[in-house]
Amino acid sequence: MTGSAQPLARYSAWTRRGDFVFLSGIIAVDPLAGKVIRGYDDLPENVAERIGRTGEFSVDAKDGPIIAQSWYVLDRVRATIEEAGGSMGDVFKLVQYFRNLDHFPRYNTVRRMFFPDAPPVSTVVEVSAMMPSPEILVEVEATAWIGTR
């Protein structure tokens, strides 16, 4: 579960144009397993506690889905940017789509783990639905500049 983003239909996960890399929107779906990331149990063992699993059912059931999906999506952004030859420090623009804007604070806590210094410029939008399932809570697209190193 550490690979780059994979498209769920006929489109490119990313493309490079000169020094710019554009990522398609990434959602919390593991295409190889054919499943939506629904909570902490769907993440690698060492990740859940690091990002906030408390072991308290009521807390983890409420916060777990958005926190787990946030981590999964941003980790796919990281892996995809690295596949393109860059790093998270090269990402300068994010567009974040939420089913519920109340999820943004928990997502933002996870985002700080991936962008501990200055965060990229961002657009945040609430949408009524996302494909392929109502269980998808967040989608993120990214743009990076990967210049000559």
In a domain, 3, yes or no: no
Given this model, what pLDDT does residue 1 score? 46
CATH number of the domain that 56 lies in?
3.30.1330.40
In a domain, 49, yes or no: yes
In a domain, 43, yes or no: yes
In a domain, 25, yes or no: yes
In a domain, 5, yes or no: no
Q: Which residue has the higher pLDDT, 69 or 10?
A: 69
Instruction: Collect contacts of 112-121 with beta carbons under 8 A, ≥24 apart.
Output: 113/51, 113/71, 113/74, 114/74, 114/75, 114/77, 114/78, 114/88, 115/88, 115/91, 117/89, 119/94, 120/91, 120/92, 120/93, 120/94, 121/92, 121/93, 121/94
pTM for the predicted model, two decimal places: 0.92
CB atoms within 10 A of CB 148: 4
pLDDT(31) > 70: yes
In a domain, 34, yes or no: yes
In a domain, 124, yes or no: yes
Q: Which residue has the higher pLDDT, 12 or 133?
A: 133
In a domain, 23, yes or no: yes
Please report, for residues 47, 88, 97, 118, the alpha-carbon distance to residue 41 in angstroms, rounded to integers and kept in the order given: 10, 25, 23, 30
pLDDT digits (tens, 9 = 90+) for 34-72: 899 999 999 998 999 999 999 999 999 999 999 999 999
Given this model, what pLDDT does residue 117 score? 92
pLDDT(2) > 60: no
Domain that holds residue 29: 14-145
- Tally of domains within the chain: 1
Residue 26 is classified by DSSP as B
